């Protein structure tokens, strides 16, 4: 078995073998879960008022509420939930969404490198990320932060992320910060419900619908890589990116955690993340760490690279380098 | 007549009948009382209604109804939760001497300590619940039907130890009161093992809660091995101080009498813990300010303010002054055994630790952010109202438990 595969992803197979044996018990537990969750469903109804939709919507929402954790679903179950979410998007917002549940590709481990010398602070990456990932416009959520740094500084903590002037400024350089997709991620360890985990291709993802919103992962993250939906996220219909992934840019709800997914909807389809594509200076490098001919491997081999907060032992897959 | 009935009735049935009678009386006694008591309960109920209303606002608007943000991601709720875990754990300071060392004086008030612990635990669990962004998904955390990330996530440990401690603290007093209600002597074999477990468990709940923060290298202010021990010391100072206050209130409003040496003993426990707490505080402050590093930023923010943000500064200094005056008065003031001196000192100590182990612990852990950004945080009206509602619920629970408990104890002692 591929050693890179982490535990949570092996679970479905194990479960399948025992499935017949556990059926009786499982049915009982399902019943118990339903009773326990009924109160939760009532809460949803009480606060949203959106439960008063059509019968079809109600049935879709009901099934969505009682679905399993994503990594425990069989491929058929994943297909079903994706179809339900597409239908709900159509009913609720009249948007035609194409949602994917594409699995990780074998032999791929994603890595990212940021060229400190090249970045000039244009923030095209931020805008592209907001658009691509359907980030909440109401709270102005952004996954990427760009810090303006003076020479002599080399850690974003001492830089300035609130610059509103023409860039680049002389004698300054720029450093981008986003989720580091740590190989040893503190957020994954912190989550009480396993709602956040690392996929075999190295991407740290969140099952938005499994998250209980306790925000322990925010406290655990040393890179400020996670964002919380304090309000119902708002994305204008015509600005919405319709090509979505279950673990990526599909619409989130309030009270759920989200984060950079290396644009999983793009990277798993062989495309570059939106930030990399948008960068006008070519400061962003993304690729497969397991492919010796990839650009990211070239950078790691030939440039002077460093990682941020290396002392914390998080083993990030996000490098900085200078030309 | 009754004895013959008991003989005829199968044993099991009579136990059920006994328990029903016990529960019925407990409920009746807890709700019945003079006009003042009824008004008191009504005020608490009104405050709870305020809390429920604010919670519905929070459900409707989302957590945006609070003043928390991605930087200050935990606020007033978790601050109060953290402090109250200490209050719950502190009951062990009465339980340990009374059950294990058979201290007769403290044994008379142990039930009060246990009731306070139950109230504190109810508040803790409520504070965690209202802090959830998606409470309708709370069942995802339940073992078996959800995915319980145990033993990896410290939060799952906290859920286990808090609920376990609540069960232990319900079982032991319920059994003892049940026996006393029927003027029987409780069987040591039945409840003492649970008492032993609950003693270790009490240390457990506060250590686990400390580890929740201590285990995060991302937050240098929390990532400090002194956190756990200091949690215990501050809890064992604030908890007994609260019990002294509760005892004084009980004594002045009911016929229940507490002897002077009880106050003296509890005061001593509180003082010893309070002094250890101050030594540890001094040790922490020394480390942060003798040679300040980048990791001292949160402490600088807390004590002196950073980049013009000074919201916590008045609070922490008030807390430290209260803490020091409270502890020293309880230790050295010649009138320390006089309630007129003791009670204000206890209130000072309790409030001082509340501020310091609440908001003074949580917010600097999160500010400056991992990116070095500094913001101020003050709770919104929704947060304050929900907090008031939960505190009222806790006081309500303690009152409803204490009233019948003390009546049963008094009757039992009179019959002995």
Contacts of B89 (CB under 8 A, 6+ apart): B117, B165, B202, B203, B205, B206, B232, B235, B236, B239
Mean pLDDT value across residues B121-149: 95
- CATH code of residue B197: 1.20.1630.10
Nearest alpha-carbon partner for B212 in B362, B7, B378:
B362
Residues of A in contact with B133 (CB under 8 A): 211-215, 228-230, 254-257
Residue B137 predicted with pLDDT over 80: yes
Cβ of B155 within 8 Å of Cβ of A214? The answer is yes
Model confidence at A105, pLDDT cuts 50, 70, 90, reads: very high
Q: How far apart are CA B277 and CA B269, in angstroms?
A: 12
Residues of B in contact with A72 (CB under 8 A): 147
Residue B403: its pLDDT value, please?
A: 94
In a domain, B23, yes or no: no
Q: How many helices (H) and strands (E) does chain B have?
A: 15, 0
Average pLDDT score over chain A? 89
Where is average pLDDT lowest: A293-297, B310-314, B361-365, B412-416?
Answer: B412-416
Q: How far apart are CA B198 and CA B184, in angstroms?
A: 23
Residue with tokens 């619920």: B393
Complex ipTM, two decimals?
0.93
Q: Residue B4 corresponds to which tokens in the numbers above?
A: 């013959």
Mean pLDDT value across residues B138-164: 93
Q: Percent of chain B beyond pLDDT 90? A: 90
Q: Which residues pair with A148 in a beta bridge?
A: A160, A174
Model confidence at A47, pLDDT cuts 50, 70, 90, reads: very low
Cβ of A192 within 8 Å of Cβ of B149? The answer is yes
Structural domain total, chain B: 1
Mean pLDDT value across residues B85-96: 93
Cβ of B134 within 8 Å of Cβ of A211? The answer is yes
Residue A42 predicted with pLDDT over 90: no
Select the residue from B76, B129, B146 to test the A interface by mutation, using most A Cβ atoms within 10 A: B146
Evaluate whether A179 touches A185 at the Cβ level (below 8 Å): no
Domain limits for position B398: 34-415
Helix, strand, or coil here: A110? strand
In a domain, B15, yes or no: no
Residues B230-242: pLDDT tens digits? Answer: 999 999 999 999 9
Fold for the domain defined by A110-322: Alpha-Beta Plaits (3.30.70)
Residues of B in contact with A193 (CB under 8 A): 137, 140-141, 146-149
Cβ of A33 within 8 Å of Cβ of B146? The answer is yes
Residue A52: its pLDDT value, please?
A: 56
Domains of chain A, residue spans:
8-94, 110-322
Cβ of B142 within 8 Å of Cβ of A256? The answer is no
Nearest alpha-carbon partner for A304 in A315, A319, A288:
A319
In a domain, B6, yes or no: no
Residues A168-195: pLDDT tens digits? Answer: 999 999 999 999 999 999 999 999 999 9
DSSP B306: B
In a domain, B13, yes or no: no
């Amino acid at each position: 078995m591929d050693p890179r595969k982490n535990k949570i992803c092996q679970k479905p197979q194990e479960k399948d073998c025992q499935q017949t044996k556990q059926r009786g018990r499982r049915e009982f537990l399902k019943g118990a879960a339903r009773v326990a969750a009924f109160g939760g469903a009532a809460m949803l109804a009480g606060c949203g008022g959106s439960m008063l939709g059509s019968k079809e919507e109600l049935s879709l929402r009901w099934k969505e509420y009682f679905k399993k954790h994503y990594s425990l679903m069989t491929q058929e179950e994943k297909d079903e939930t994706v179809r339900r979410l597409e239908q709900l998007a159509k009913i609720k917002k009249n948007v035609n969404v194409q949602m994917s549940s594409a699995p990780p590709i074998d032999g791929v481990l994603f890595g990212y490198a940021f060229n400190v010398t090249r970045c000039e602070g244009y923030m095209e990456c931020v805008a592209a990320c907001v658009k691509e990932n359907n980030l909440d416009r109401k709270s102005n959520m952004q996954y990427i932060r760009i810090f303006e740094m003076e020479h002599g500084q080399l850690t974003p903590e001492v830089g300035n992320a609130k610059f509103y002037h023409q860039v680049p400024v002389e004698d300054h350089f720029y450093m981008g910060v986003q989720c580091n997709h740590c190989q040893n991620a503190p957020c994954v360890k912190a989550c009480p419900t396993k709602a956040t985990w690392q996929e075999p291709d190295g991407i740290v993802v969140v099952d938005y619908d499994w998250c209980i919103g306790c925000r322990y992962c925010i406290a655990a993250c040393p890179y400020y890589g996670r964002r919380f939906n304090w309000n119902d996220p708002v994305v204008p219909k015509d600005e919405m990116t319709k090509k979505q992934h279950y673990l990526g840019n599909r619409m989130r709800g309030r009270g759920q955690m989200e984060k950079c997914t290396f644009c999983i909807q793009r990277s798993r389809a062989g495309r570059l993340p939106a930030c990399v594509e948008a960068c006008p200076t070519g400061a962003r490098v993304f690729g497969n760490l397991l492919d010796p001919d990839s650009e990211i491997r070239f950078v790691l081999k030939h440039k002077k690279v460093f990682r941020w907060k290396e002392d914390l032992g998080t083993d990030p897959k996000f490098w900085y380098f200078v030309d | 007549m009754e004895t013959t009935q008991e003989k005829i009735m199968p044993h099991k049935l009579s136990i059920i009948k006994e328990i029903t009678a016990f529960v019925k009386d407990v409920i009746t006694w807890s709700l019945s009382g003079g006009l003042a008591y009824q008004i008191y309960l009504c005020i608490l109920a009104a405050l709870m209604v305020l809390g429920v209303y604010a919670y519905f606002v929070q459900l409707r608007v989302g957590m945006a109804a609070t003043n928390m943000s991605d930087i200050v991601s935990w606020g007033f709720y978790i601050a109060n939760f953290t402090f109250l875990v200490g209050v719950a754990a502190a009951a062990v300071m009465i339980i340990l001497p009374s059950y294990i060392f058979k201290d007769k004086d403290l044994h008379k008030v142990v039930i009060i300590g246990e009731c306070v612990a139950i109230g504190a635990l109810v508040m803790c669990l409520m504070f965690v619940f209202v802090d959830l962004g998606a409470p309708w998904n709370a069942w995802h955390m339940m073992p078996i039907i959800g995915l319980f990330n145990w033993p990896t996530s410290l939060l799952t440990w906290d859920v286990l130890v808090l609920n376990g401690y609540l069960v232990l603290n319900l079982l032991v007093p319920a059994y003892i009161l049940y026996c006393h209600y029927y003027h029987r002597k409780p069987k040591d074999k039945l409840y003492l093992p649970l008492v032993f477990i609950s003693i270790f468990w009490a240390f457990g709940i506060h250590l686990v809660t400390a580890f929740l923060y201590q285990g995060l290298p991302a937050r240098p202010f929390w990532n400090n091995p002194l956190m756990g021990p200091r949690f215990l010391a501050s809890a064992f100072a604030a908890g007994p101080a609260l019990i002294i206050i509760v005892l004084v209130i009980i004594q002045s409003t009911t016929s229940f009498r507490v002897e002077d040496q009880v106050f003296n003993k509890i005061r001593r426990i509180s003082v010893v813990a309070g002094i250890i707490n101050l030594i540890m505080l001094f040790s922490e402050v020394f480390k942060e300010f003798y040679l300040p590093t980048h990791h001292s930023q949160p402490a600088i923010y807390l004590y002196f303010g950073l980049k013009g943000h000074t919201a916590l500064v008045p609070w922490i200094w008030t807390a430290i002054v209260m803490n020091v005056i409270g502890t020293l008065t309880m230790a050295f003031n010649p009138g320390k055994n006089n309630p007129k001196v003791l009670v204000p000192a206890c209130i000072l100590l309790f409030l001082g630790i509340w501020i310091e182990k609440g908001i003074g612990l949580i917010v600097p852990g999160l500010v400056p952010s991992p990116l070095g950004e500094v913001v101020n945080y003050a709770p919104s009206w929704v947060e304050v109202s929900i907090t008031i509602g939960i505190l009222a619920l806790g006081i309500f629970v303690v009152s409803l438990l204490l009233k019948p408990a003390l009546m049963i104890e008094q009757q039992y002692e009179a019959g002995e």
